[in-house]
Each structure stands twice: as C-alpha cells, then as structure tokens.
Amino acid sequence: MNDNLWNDLTATFRDLLDNDSLTLTEATTAKDVEGWDSITHVLIIVAVEKKFRVKFTAGEIQQLQNVGELAALIRSKQASSPSGGG
C-alpha cells in the first residue's frame, strides 16, 4: 500500500510537471522542483484529491511542508474513510 501510494504520487507529479524522470523524496519541497510554482501547486492539490479520492481542508493545504507530509496526509485520510472518501 505504501509503495503504491508513492508510485501513484510520483506518477501524478510527473504528469503535471511534464517530467518523466522526476524523483520525489520525503523531504522534497516546491523549491526543489522546477516548474512547481503556485499555479502548479493548485493543480497538484486538485489532481491528488482526484487520484486518491480524498479531500483536503484549506488549513491542511496551507500547512504542508513537503511531499512526505502530503503522502502522510493522504494515507491518514484513506485510513479514516476506507470507501474512498471525497
């Protein structure tokens, strides 16, 4: 489950940023990735919500510091509503 989530997350980022060789680590932030600006950030949030069938709150989005925290947030939302949430 852990690996699948990370693979899917990476695939989502790669598609949005148009970069097939992009690799993510837990510590990756927007500053580390070319093309991840405030506009792309919105698209990432929307794409992640759709892909993983979760819904973030405005507060949660504003507090995310890195990709690792994003992954953890997805995991916790999926755990609390196994039917897929959203």
Q: Interface residues with other proteins (CB under 8 A)?
A: 15-16, 18, 38-39, 41-43, 45-47, 56-58, 61-62
| CB 60 to other proteins: min, Å | 9
| CB 38 to other proteins: min, Å | 7
| CB 47 to other proteins: min, Å | 7
Measured distance CA(17)–CA(36) in Å, rounded: 7
Is the Cβ of residue 29 or residue 63 nearer to other proteins in the bound state?
A: 63
Chain-centroid distance, C-alpha 33: 13
Measured distance CA(13)–CA(7) in Å, rounded: 10
Is the Cβ of residue 2 or residue 57 nearer to other proteins in the bound state?
A: 57
Distance spanning both ends of the chain, measured CA to CA: 19
- DSSP letter at 33 equals S
Is the Cβ of residue 3 or residue 18 nearer to other proteins in the bound state?
A: 18
Measured distance CA(85)–CA(32) in Å, rounded: 30
